[in-house]
Amino acid sequence: MLSLLALGLFLASAQNSVSAQAVPQTIQLQSRVAPVSATLRRRALNPVTVPLADFFLGTDLQWFGNKVTFSNSPAHFSGNMSVGTPPQTVSVVFDTGSSTLEFASTLCGAPCDNQVKFNSAKSSTFVDGGTTSSITFSTGVGVDPVVGANYRLTLRSGTDTVAIGNLKAPATSLFLITNQTAKFGIDPFSGIQGMSARAQGIFAALISQGLPSLFSLFLTPLSVGNAEMTVGGIDTTKFTGPLTFASLASTSAAWTLSSPQLTVNGVTNSVLQARRSIIFDSGTSNILFPTATANAMYALISSDITPFAAEPGAYGIACNKISTLPAVIDITFTSQSGSPFNLTIPSSELNVGPFASNPAICQTLINAFDGLSLVGGSLLKHYYSVWDVGNQRLGFAAI
């Protein structure tokens, strides 16, 4: 999910406090985590692997985590991400399109009843920040376009101890959700852990304790399972072939790469050959492009794909026509070595399912959003991706 604030300034958060006397803890990981490479040997913390659940609503386009798995030889044990003293568990979507931690709290009434709520009154280490604010997201859960402020959270600032397993960050900046729009009501997770290109929150705290400043995503369809995020490392068992890295296109907190060209079914045109900055957002399902770009792409797929008036920004086609349409989308980038490479969205992603208001019409992959170019789960699930904060780059390997 991408905050509107992320389009300019990301939501500011207080500097995290990590005790100078804190002793880094080493977690023995299960075997599926990549071996420590020679370049990463001098560190205090090893990577951790977070299993991710597929939030399946007819399509495999969004994932969230509710457990962190460690190995405790010879068996292994699981622990939830926790907040407070004593710890209270929270489940979150790990979102590269935002930068802060926010989750449902007992300050939120009926709108948050579908989520587990954090009770700040039961935490001896919680400190109320005294500030109320709101955040509006320009992309949301699922494939529907965002209309107005239908993805909006009302927040109360604070700090508390945040932990992943035995790794703790005291006085970490966070936000309690005190109200939310109905669109968030279907979420099975309690909140959002931002994983922007600027390390914040618990990720920043772990980096200060010696964890390498990167994380990796392995997003898989529900039928495959075992999706995961590795914090602080790369799981080389999840892909074959080399990783290709590209430098971030800006110094903002957004994960943005510059692209000189889009092609559809091997064909391009003057609109698609314009250079554009594209945001990579693990919390968004579809891909978003300005209206002119979306229209130019659909023109190369089928003239039968048209805007769906009931949901501004969405497009659709008769469901009985969509399965035979070729719709291979290639997005070109430039690697750190100077060579062009493509990231490909296959034709199988074109159909994201029928519209609830008209089941005979199926929604298509690209949403129109003027002023924004963004790719989400429909691309990311076809690649193992490495999000390297320290070197300000993104890496991809086919899976």
Instruction: Give the range among 22-31, 238-247, 378-387 with minimum mean pLDDT.
Output: 22-31
Whether 330 is a known active-site residue: answer no
**Mean of all residue pLDDT scores within the chain:** 80
Give Cβ neighbours of residue 357 (< 8 Å, ≥ 6 apart).
310
Separation CA 176–CA 364 (nearest Å) = 35
Whether 281 is a known active-site residue: answer yes
Size of the chain in residues: 399
User: Which of the residues 60, 187, 235, 281 is marked catalytic?
Assistant: 281
Architecture (CATH level 2) of domain 4-231: Beta Barrel (2.40)
pLDDT band, residue 5 (cuts 50/70/90): very low
The reply to whether domains 4-231 and 237-398 share a CATH topology is yes
How many Å is the Cα radius of gyration of the chain? 21
Instruction: Give the range among 45-59, 203-217, 318-332 with minimum mean pLDDT.
Output: 45-59
pTM above 0.85, yes or no: no
Give Cβ neighbours of residue 167 (< 8 Å, ≥ 6 apart).
25, 27, 45, 48, 202, 206, 209
pLDDT at 236 over 70: yes
Instruction: Give the range among 4-13, 178-187, 349-358 with minimum mean pLDDT.
Output: 4-13
In this prediction, residues 234-239 reach a mean pLDDT of 92
* Main-chain phi, psi angles of 366, to 5 degrees: -95, 125
When the candidates are 1.10.357.10, 3.40.50.360, 2.40.70.10, 3.40.50.720, the CATH number that belongs to 237-398 is: 2.40.70.10
Query: Which pair of structure tokens corresponds to residue 311?
Result: 């949901």
pLDDT at 43 over 60: no
pLDDT at 22 over 70: no
| Contact (CB, 8 A) for 173 and 203 | no
Domain ranges of the chain: 4-231, 237-398
What's the Cα-to-Cα distance from 90 to each of 161, 190, 192, 197, 274, rounded to whole Å?
13, 6, 10, 23, 43
Condensed to tens digits (0 to 9), the pLDDT of residues 68-124 reads 333 222 221 222 588 999 999 888 888 898 899 999 999 999 999 999 999 999 999
Higher pLDDT, 50 or 44: 50
User: Which of the residues 95, 144, 160, 235 is marked catalytic?
Assistant: 95
Mean pLDDT highest for which of 5-9, 77-81, 318-322?
Answer: 318-322
